[in-house]
Amino acid sequence: TFKRLAKLLKELDRTSEAIQTLEEALLRVSALAEDLPQVAELDLNPIRVHPKGGTIVDARVRVSPFEPPPMLGRDG
């Protein structure tokens, strides 16, 4: 959740590399959610940030069937 993320950011070492690594991870997760709407939950815990980037130590994914919303249009 947003509150948990905000708390983690406060505790994070404020080096620019760490922030950039976390930002990149969040952007990739966002793209994953957009590209694969059947991903219902994604738990990445912990994400370790180091000078060469980041490492996701453990991941859990829950998928569920996805049906796109019906097309909206005019009848006739």
pLDDT of 64 over the 70 cut: yes
The C-alpha atoms of residue 11 and residue 45 are separated, in whole angstroms, by 15
The C-alpha atoms of residue 7 and residue 10 are separated, in whole angstroms, by 5
**Which pLDDT does position 75 carry in this prediction?**
61
Give pLDDT tens digits for 7-63. Answer: 777 776 666 787 788 889 989 999 999 999 999 999 999 989 888 889 999 999 999
